[in-house]
Amino acid sequence: MKNLCWIRRDLRLHDHNALSHSLKDGETVIVFIFDQHILDKLKNKSDKRLTFIYDSLAEIEKQLQKKGSSLIVRYGKPEDEIPKLCEELRIDKVFTNRDYEPYAKKRDELVAKKLKASGIEFETFKDSAFHEKHEILTGSGSLYKVFTPYKNKWLEKFEESGKVIPDYKCELKNLRKFSNPKNILETDWYKVMGFHPSPSVLKAGTNEALKRLEAFENHMNKYKEARDFPAIEGTSNLSTYIRFGNISVRDMIRSGVSKRSEGASTWVAEIIWRDFYHMILDTHPYVEKESFKREYDQIKWLGSDEDFKAWCEGRTGFPIVDAAMRCLNETGMMHNRLRMIVASFLCKILLVDWRKGERYFAEKLMDYDLAANNGGWQWSSSSGCDAQPYFRIFNPYTQSEKFDSEGLFIKQWVPELAKANAKEIHRPDVLLYPGYPLPIVSYEKNRQRCLEMYTVVKKS
């Protein structure tokens, strides 16, 4: 058999379900398509994520060359490029891992249809999620809509399996042998796609991901407490690597269950959240553009475009919010505690539609994942499944005092407040700090407006 393994959000050569099956089935060539449908929508032509993908592919290419093979990389529309390559390479079967986003599912259906017309098989595999949509069900056989019972069932099933974690071995000896083809890895690839190089703050690739995972294991036991403080290294910083599949979800679970501590259990629970949100998106695709709780689509958002712009630029006059947004804009990174703070602030203090914030994060986040991003925003806006109650509104001042008490993170990103003391920095007197803006809204007044805004919907 002559096989093609199409990699997408699984940029690695180990513990890879589709690649493992393809190599066992026959001679395999590995292909990556820079998807024109996706790239055409990117506003920023210096998007750091493209560099991360390129560097990840370059690492794979080096590994393949050592095996006498190579990676084929193309830029175009997958529904055109995959059938074209199959014809050129006389492929019998295409292997790929499943993607649960609405666009991706439609794309794969179209590719499968075209391949079938040419007599080529198209097989997909579970890989980016540990459990898919119908694998974790309630006692009555329905889908979970609340996370905690979902997590409990997930863990129960894991225990019943004997804590078996599959490891999909990839026998690279079965790769098709050929010299490096003329692909965009060997050209001025940015120009081919209309982008400009923009290195990220993260070194890409599997080697770096595994190093980070190993380093995190040394302080995983402290994760439950340390994860909330943005000024310290309390998290794994692996979200971008799992987003692009430099490591597998199974790599992460193996690491978590090998440690017996509250921190490790908390980290595994975060991985289960990821499965939960992918299940929600897969089974309720309307959440991409609408509220999971549809009644929340009736909210009349009162916030202004000016306030949204100030939020985007990190000049709201609320230091913890501004620091978080400036960090995002420069690095493409944002600590999870800060994501909750700025999302709650946008929806419930600035009274701006959560979808605007979600779209902005989609443009900026290195680790952007539709399921997790959408789930997080709907959680913050109280419009999603198992979301926080509408009357739970984060106080940006107390959040700042609690999770950045010395103002270390704020000072890093808001230099106007560099000389502020630990008490002053959370709610500064702007007369003492020229250049830093007054708060654009009153937290106290807008909190009350938010409650009234949501109450109207709850009563309707």
Which of 154, 189, 273, 413 does the annotation list as catalytic? 273
Q: How far apart are CA 446 and CA 452, in angstroms?
A: 10
Integer Cα distance of 255 and 108 in angstroms: 32
What's the confidence (pLDDT) of residue 457?
80
Among 181-185, 299-303, 354-358, 444-448, the least confident range: 181-185
Find the range with the poorest average confidence among 4-8, 93-97, 364-368, 455-459: 455-459
pLDDT at 43: 87
How many Å separate Cα 410 from the centre of its chain? 24
Q: Is residue 182 very low, low, confident or very high in pLDDT (cuts 50, 70, 90)? A: low
Same fold for the domain at 1-128 and the one at 129-165+206-283? no
Kindly indicate the confidence band of residue 194, based on its pLDDT and cuts at 50, 70 and 90.
Answer: confident
Indicate whether 188 pLDDT > 80: no
Positive or negative torsion for Cα 157, 162, 165, 167? negative
CA angle 39, 271, 102 (to 5 degrees): 35
Instruction: Reduce the DSSP state of residue 21 to 3 states and report it.
Output: helix
- Pairing of the two strands 27-35 and 93-97: unpaired
Name the packing angle between helices 319-331 and 336-348 (round to 10°): 120
Q: Quote the strand ranges of 207-326, DSSP E.
A: none
Predicted confidence at residue 181, as pLDDT, reads 62
pLDDT for the residue 191: 78
Query: Is 311 considered catalytic here?
Result: no
Query: 389: buried, middle or exposed (CB in 10 Å: 19+, 13-18, 0-12)?
Result: exposed
Between 39-48, 90-99, 433-442, the lowest mean confidence (pLDDT) is in 39-48
Q: Is 354 part of the annotated catalytic residue set? A: yes
Which CATH architecture does the domain made up of 294-459 adopt?
Answer: Orthogonal Bundle (1.10)
User: Of all residues in the chain, what percent carry a pLDDT higher than 90?
Assistant: 88
Pick the CATH number of 1-128 from 3.10.20.90, 3.40.50.300, 3.40.50.620, 3.90.1140.10: 3.40.50.620
Which residue carries 């340390």 as its tokens? 226
Report residue 378 as tokens.
Answer: 């709907």
| Res. 460: pLDDT tops 70 | no
Active-site annotation holder among 6, 267, 311, 354? 354
Please identify which residue in the block is written with the tokens 């998106």.
281
Burial class for 66, CB neighbours closer than 10 Å (0-12, 13-18, 19+): exposed
pLDDT per position as a tens digit, 327-349: 999 999 999 999 999 999 999 99
Question: For all residues of the chain together, what is the average pLDDT?
Answer: 95
121, 270, 290, 424: which is the annotated catalytic residue? 270
Q: Which of 43-47, 205-209, 404-408 has the lowest mean pLDDT?
A: 43-47
Its pTM stands at 0.95
Query: In the annotation, is 154 catalytic?
Result: no
- Give the rounded percent of residues in the chain with a pLDDT score beyond 70: 98
Catalytic site residue 189? no
pLDDT at 189: 75
Using the predicted structure, report yes or no on whether residue 273 has a pLDDT greater than 90: yes
Among candidate residues 377, 379, 413, 446, the one labeled active-site is 377
Q: Does the active-site annotation cover 377?
A: yes
Cα distance between residue 300 and residue 196, in whole Å: 39
- Residue 414: left (phi > 0), alpha (psi -120 to 50), or beta? beta
Tens digit of each residue's pLDDT (9 = 90 or more) over 124-143: 999 999 999 999 999 999 99
SS3 (DSSP) at 28: strand
Find, among 173, 178, 153, 193, the residue nearest to 46 by Cα: 193
- The full set of domain ranges for the chain reads 1-128, 129-165+206-283, 294-459
Phi, psi of 72 (to 5 degrees): -100, 125
Query: Which CATH number among 1.25.40.80, 1.20.1050.10, 3.30.565.10, 3.40.1080.10 corresponds to the domain 129-165+206-283?
Result: 1.25.40.80
C-alpha 244, offset from chain centre: 9
Catalytic residue among 301, 329, 416, 424: 301
If 0-12 CB within 10 Å is exposed, 13-18 middle and 19+ buried, where does residue 115 land?
buried
Task: List pLDDT tens digits, range 213-251.
Answer: 999 999 999 999 999 999 998 899 999 999 999 999 999
**At 66, is the secondary structure helix, strand, or coil?**
helix
Q: Which one from 174, 180, 329, 336 is the annotated catalytic residue?
A: 336
Per-residue burial over 41-65, b if 16 or more Cβ lie within 10 Å, else e, is ebeeeebbbbbbbbbbbebbbebbe
